[in-house]
Structure 1
Amino acid sequence: MTKLSVLDFVSIVEGGTASDALAASARLAAHAEAEGYHRFWLAEHHAMPGIASSAVSVCLAHIGHATSTIRIGSGGIMLPNHNPFVIAEQFGTLEALFPGRIDLGLGRAPGADGRIARMLRKDLHGAAENFPQDIVELQAIFAGDERLPLQATPGAGADIEMWILGSSLFGAQLAARLGLPYAFAAHFAPSQLDDALRVYREFFQPSEQCEKPHVMVGTNAYAAETSEEAYLLASSMDQSFVALRTGTPGKLPPPVPGYRDSLPPQAAATLNAMRSVSAIGTRAEVGEKLAALVRRTGADELVLAGNTYDPAAREKSLSLTMEAMKTALPA
């Protein structure tokens, strides 16, 4: 069966706190582990009132202590925001704490609007141009390359599984050239999914980490007892997306019945386009939709986004989805 993984935004809900969100994320990771999910990833976002995962490496230590076998990692670290040596030390430390379980997914977006450059005191445009070289430097640091002026401790010799993340052809081309696994963010930017995977596979060059192309596709997944309930659960993230696109991001709101139907045509079209790679419905419906996505993309793995206002609803959704996939795509 295609491997299933989880992407969590550590959502701070209306009326809740960052502490609540971090506790819920740890419970979700433990639940995902018990259900047989392969990875649990967190994404770097900044200055987002509804997301508590800005310090990804710190959050991953919290997740690691709440679990024992599931792989944990970044989906992803926005490398232009950081110095590669420091990221090597952070993820080397995580690997020392949780050996054989650490993934380092890397992206080149800032994870916030243009103000983040000023707050970080960095030329993020220039740093993004250096993204490929910074990844090669990270590989050299983890390999303990003796030509480097310093060795990272922890870091040198760390068993880190590196990934390239993307939502365009650039990331696909880079992952292919470096021979790294590639994760496409179809859960929020699906328009170039098929072209990016074609480019990645066509130009892939084997490496020590990957002998052949390895693809993960990000998708939204909400499974519930009824379709109506599933779409109701999804309405919290739908509201967050619309708020973000209109410049008013906030905490994750409670679900609203019929939310999509209430939107003006342009907003509804934008939301539907962004959510076009989604599996929302009953257990059987979600299984069918995810199986169709696997057939369409040939994905080796799926990573499921889909935060909910009620954390227990997300846990149930993951359980139903795993059950569905065992039927829809048996081993």
Structure 2
Amino acid sequence: MAQSATGPALACQYHRQRPFAACGAVPAATCATVGKMTLPELERRGYSDTLAVGTLASASTLGLLIPPSIMMIVYGVVTEQSISRLFMAGIGPGVLLLALFMLYLVVWSLSCRAPRRRRPRRAIDAVGEKLRNSWRLLPLLALIGGILGSIYGGVASPTEAAAVGVVLSMLIARLNGHFDRRIFLDSMFAGLRTSCMIAFIIAGASFLSSAMSFTQLPTQLATAIADMGLSPNLLLVVLTLFLLVLGCFLDGISLILLVTAIIMPLINAAGIDPIWFGIYLVIVVEISQITPPVGFNLFVIQGLTGKNIFTIAKATLPFFLLMLLAILLLRLFPEIVLYLPQAMNR
């Protein structure tokens, strides 16, 4: 009998993806790699396909708030803001989004929507056995420590750290006796297929971004917003709608590069902290990753599961709304963003 489709394993999916996303800060890569491991296992255990897909697509975007975030680096360079302060500012909102997502899973699992299945005694006994064998996770912790340590220690860039992870993974697998020529070739071809899928998605998005830039439509829309003379709060509401629409057709980096130069004078005139606005912009980019018709994560999951793109988008709708709620909370309590950067300057 399958396990109950409740929240613990799905909540753990967030913990798996946050450290992985910190290694490369590329949501599509995180979604593809973690999805290949977690989706079959969650399906085998009887978890809801809809919720499994929704958690995977939304959790993989959280890496944009975790250093080293390429979006924060691009924003910091374009606006001449401190990248280290942006990195510190992303910690609070990242924890907030994580808490909101996990709280939703807990509420969903306790509601009548969650199937009520009685777990067999054997499954309950297996928990104790897994705890006794938890020492076997030490090589995995060493792998994570090697990847993150090489990045934060300044030894390797995120791309170079990926190579470190590959070498450490092969060494650990070899020591455990689970690595041979066939497994090596299968891993190479699986990685090649995943990389090609992501590359084609990015290529298509880049072509669309170039076309949008050529028409100067984003620039014209941003200029129209500047001419409205809106109050700070209303300005953020209009900008959110504007950026979400553009995010349906542009990748995150193109979005920041195309509109930031025009929007920043409005932000400064409205008295909005540029560090706070940078985090706000990153969260909007996160939302665009799960927004059709050009949501990177939606296409990645479609490639993994074969589901209709709009079915996947429907599964991510609750998390889309939670991200909007997070933006509202950050506006009401800006200290969530600004406390750590301000403390760093004391």
TM-score range (shorter-chain normalised) is under 0.3
Q: Which is richer in helix?
A: 2
Comparing both chains, which one has the higher relative contact order based on Cα–Cα distances under 8 Å and sequence gaps of 6 or more?
A: 2
Q: Which is richer in strand?
A: 1
Larger radius of gyration: 2
- The normalised TM-score by structure 2 is 0.27
- The normalised TM-score by structure 1 is 0.28
